[in-house]
């Protein structure tokens, strides 16, 4: 049995059109919106992990 993952809540403000598109996209993928957002952020972080910080 897997150990439960501790989670933190985050709130984001999306414009109406983006929210609608995200909701439709997630539904077509049979996923929750939060899962789509988490996957996208994880991918972004993987791709940019060696990018120097902006000063």
Span 1-55, pLDDT tens digits: 777 789 899 999 999 999 999 999 999 999 999 999 999 999 999 999 888 888 7
- pTM (predicted TM-score): 0.79
- The candidate with the shortest Cα–Cα distance to 10, out of 47, 38, 40, is 38
- The candidate with the shortest Cα–Cα distance to 14, out of 3, 23, 26, 6, is 23
What tokens does 18 get?
A: 């983006």
One DSSP character per residue, 3-52 reads PPPP---------HHHHHHHHHHHHHTT--HHHHHHHHHHHHHHHTTTSP
Distance (Å, rounded) from C-alpha 18 to C-alpha 26?
12
């Amino acid at each position: 049995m897997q150990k439960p993952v501790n989670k933190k809540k985050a709130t984001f403000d999306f414009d109406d059109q983006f929210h609608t598109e995200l909701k439709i996209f997630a539904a077509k993928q049979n996923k929750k919106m939060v899962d789509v957002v988490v996957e996208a952020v994880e991918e972004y972080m993987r791709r940019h992990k060696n990018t120097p910080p902006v000063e």
